[in-house]
Structure 1
Amino acid sequence: MSSIQTHNLQRITEIPLSQIRRPIMPVLDTQKIDAMVSTMNGIPMASKTCSLESAQSMDGKLPPIDVMVVRHNDENYYFAFGGCHRFQAYDRQAKDKDDSNYLVRCKLIPATERQLKMYVGGSIDNMFN
């Protein structure tokens, strides 16, 4: 599974869950999240959007999340706008393992503050606090 933005990006980077900002509130299907967590735990499970065969082929790993990386004051800031269910599955795993540095598989998309502003509008001033 790959998005149109990252289908040509082959490199997968692991970023601590705590460093990824999610500025837009997701709408979630808990059954889909349950299936992803089960798959991550080595028990593949189908959902509305993933067949059992596809889940079995993942070998316990979810597809990477597309993450924009914006450089601000010599520091990297990570923003995710998609992958809501995967992000929540990672979050649940982190809480279950009590791991504040839990790593998320990501494909990084370099972006500028101006590009980020297209997603968050006037609230960009609050994105780097």
Structure 2
Amino acid sequence: MLGGSLQSRAIEQQTLPLSSLLRPIPPVLDHKKIDSMVQTLKNETPDFIPTPAPESITPGELPPVDVLHYCSPAGKDFYFAFGGCHRLQAYEKAQVKGVNCKVLKVTKPMLKVYLGGSVDAIVGEELAEE
């Protein structure tokens, strides 16, 4: 499956544990859409196809979620998902532990664009020039 955003289209897909993904922004969810995705993950024909409809639906598979990967100077990995909220909720509801992802490496100043001043509290270190 091609999938991914314009920024991640050329990046190879990989599977990450759902439990490793940090979602710092609370999602606003459409539960009908999540249920449709759960049916897709379970190889069932969805009762509901969201609008706009996906380019293609592959039973048992959802398009990859873009994930930002930050590795701290201490070597700790942080994986942030700012989008893909419905897909992540579907994985959780279907009790699927591995998530299809496109992982983009980022620096701490890049993360600060998304997290602002809370980046230090989340990754547990002071912002240093990189």
The TM tier, using the shorter chain, reads 0.7 to 0.9
Structure 1: segments with no counterpart, 5+ residues: none
1:119 is aligned to 114
Number of residue-to-residue matches in the alignment: 120
TM-score when normalising by structure 2: 0.84
SS of residue matched to 2:94: helix
String of CA shifts for 1:34-69, please: whole Å, max 9, x gaps. Answer: 0000011011314223649832xx131001100000
Percent sequence identity is 42
Q: Secondary structure at the match of 1:39?
A: helix
Written as runs of structure 1 = structure 2, the 5 A alignment for 1:50-129 is 51=53, 54-55=56-57, 58-72=58-72, 73-94=74-95, 102-129=97-124
Deviations along 1:61-117, whole A, 9 cap, x unmatched?
0011000000012121100001110011011122xx7xxxx1111010000111001
Relative to structure 1, is the Cα distance of residues 53 and 74 closer, same or farther in structure 2, using a 3 angstrom cutoff? closer
Deviation at 1:4, TM superposition (A): 1.6
RMSD: 1.8
Larger CA deviation: 27-36 vs 41-50: 41-50
